[in-house]
Amino acid sequence: MKKRSAFSIMSRMIGLVSPLRGFMCLAVVLGVGGFLCAQFITILGGYALLDVLKFETPLSLKGVFTAVILLAVFRAAFRCSEQYLNHYIAFNVLALIRNRVFAALRRLCPAKLEGRDKGDLISVITSDIELLEVFYAHTVSPVIIAAVMTAIMTVFIALQNVLLGAVALAGYLTVGIAVPVMIYKLSGDTADRFRAQSGQLSAFTLENLRGLDETIQYGAGSRRLSELRLRADNIAGTQEKMSRNIGINTAITSGVILIFDIIMLLAAVSLYNKGSIGFDGMLISVIAMMSSFGPCTALANLGSVLQNTLAAGGRVLDILDEEPVTDEVKDSLDIAFDGAEVKNVTFSYGGERVLDDLSLSIDNGSITGISGRSGSGKSTLLKLLMRFWETDKGKILLNDTDIDLINTASLRSNECYVTQDTQLFHETIEYNVKIGDLSATREEVEQACKKASIHDFIMTLPNGYDTRVGELGETLSGGERQRLGLARAFLHGAPLMLLDEPTSNLDSLNEAVILRSLKEEKGDDKTVVLVSHRLSTMRICNKVYSIDSGRMS
């Protein structure tokens, strides 16, 4: 996680409210109005006491009771409206942030996400973003409200006596600024560690759920459970420290408020004894001070809570600010596929060279085979053709045009990449196939499935194409998932098909059906690049390149 200051995180997060600043201003006005109503209900009680004691007051006893009732009604209306607006702002901003995060993930995918813990990403998208609701609903407007109320109440008390106004201001600043800053620093990086541990626990749990069969099969349950408990204990320990900080925060805040109330009482009594203020001024000043810490207390409580929120905000901003390996190309060239060429390409993963001065050509309307041992760079070459990464040296050309100069949307519309692992969604079979072309008809989906030798199997299912596959396609075998992936590719209809081990999980009969389909697809409008270990698969290729340790052999 990038190291950021609390101020930079808050300023970035506040900037996200700009589309709703009108609602935010109204929430602040309502909040100030609500607190003023609450404060002056208590202050009017002081004036009622003065009236009973026969002091001259702005309102009679009857007027005081009428005003108190009106203030109570307005207080309820203002408070309810303020809370509604704050939560309206919060949940709309959260929706905006989620949209931006998903857009960022799409921009970063696939290169920047291949090595990331999926559970940690899920934690950011769900719990971290959800935690920002505290910031937008209970932090932004309360800070502004507290500042305005501090100014109003300081002036009001100063009208009784300037020295008492100074005491009140010191109390407000101590409770509203000094205490939360002190607690924030006292908390250290506890919240950062808690959010990180939470993400790691989510990733570990997701990993264990996916590998449950293997865990049971090899009797590793006890060890995995022990590790889960250890992680849970660690996060519980961190959470306990956070809770302890909240308790310390509450104790310090209450203590500071009590101290300043006593200081105000002693100062007011002293000034009264000296004749600097009357009894009415002393009473109203003390009552106003003791009843006016509400907005500042809300700020004081942020000292411990806000750290957790800012830690979550920092993790969200890390995703939003992360730069992709390859930028999307726009406003450049669109193409219609007519052959490809790889010229002297060198590529490395994290300093480890995978491809070394590799060259090959892909003729339009042909089936080009690429063979080689595992780890020789075959799959990497297909990803470079898709421009998931950029080459270190050399060029990849489509239609004699560098793919770095081709609009990304045009490039992806001309290519279709089928990976070794097919990702299926918890939806119907038809929906999973139609990802290749969302506008396709049922007839076109069935035709694509027939080419992929999966149609007959689908028709044996109770609901046919309307059958829902399990999460991640777990209700289907590896071969069935692979054939659905091929059906997507056939349906997509891109002129260049990049197939990475498309028959690795298939028996000979289904392999033969698919290879025949590929051979029939081959023509002026269809070109196939086929990566495979199987010699039987390579037999349909017009030419075969063999790669060994990243070089042509």
In this structure, are residues 494 and 409 in contact, taking their beta carbons and an 8 Å threshold?
A: no
Whole-angstrom Cα distance, residue 384 to residue 355?
Answer: 10
Q: Which residues, 6 or more positions from 99, have their beta carbon under 8 angstroms from its beta carbon? A: none
Give 350-364 as a 3 state SS string: CCEEEEEEEEEEECC
CATH superfamily of 10-321: ABC transporter type 1, transmembrane domain (1.20.1560.10)
Helix (H) or strand (E) holding 455: helix 455-459
User: Looking at residue 267, what is its pLDDT?
Assistant: 93
Residue 185 neighbours by CB distance under 10 Å: 11
369: left (phi over 0), alpha (psi -120 to 50) or beta: beta
Give the 3-state secondary structure of residue 325.
coil
Residue with tokens 């408020």: 257
Model confidence pLDDT, tens digit, residues 399-417: 889 999 999 889 888 888 8
Least Cα distance to 173 among 87, 50, 300 occurs for 300
Decide the pairing of beta strands 367-372 and 527-531. parallel
In this structure, are residues 468 and 428 in contact, taking their beta carbons and an 8 Å threshold?
A: yes
Question: Which stretches of the chain score pLDDT less than 70?
Answer: 1-3, 115-117, 119, 188, 301-305, 471-473, 521-524, 550, 553
Helix axes 179-187, 221-273, angle to 10 degrees: 160
- For 517, the token pair is 């389909």
Whole-angstrom Cα distance, residue 413 to residue 407?
Answer: 10
Is CATH 3.90.1150.10 the right assignment for the domain spanning 340-552? no
Least Cα distance to 178 among 287, 255, 238 occurs for 255
- For 316, the token pair is 């969200």
User: Looking at residue 268, what is its pLDDT?
Assistant: 92
Domain ranges of the chain: 10-321, 340-552
- For 45, the token pair is 């009680």
Residues of the chain above pLDDT 90, percent: 19
User: Looking at residue 475, what is its pLDDT?
Assistant: 75
Whole-angstrom Cα distance, residue 464 to residue 470?
Answer: 15
Question: Model pTM?
Answer: 0.68
Read out DSSP for 476-544? Answer: S-HHHHHHHHHHHHHHH--SEEEEESTTTT--HHHHHHHHHHHHHH-BTTBEEEEE-S-HHHHTT-SEE
User: Looking at residue 74, what is its pLDDT?
Assistant: 94
User: For the chain, what's the residue count?
Assistant: 553
Whole-angstrom Cα distance, residue 380 to residue 529?
Answer: 13
User: Looking at residue 444, what is its pLDDT?
Assistant: 93
User: Looking at residue 30, what is its pLDDT?
Assistant: 92
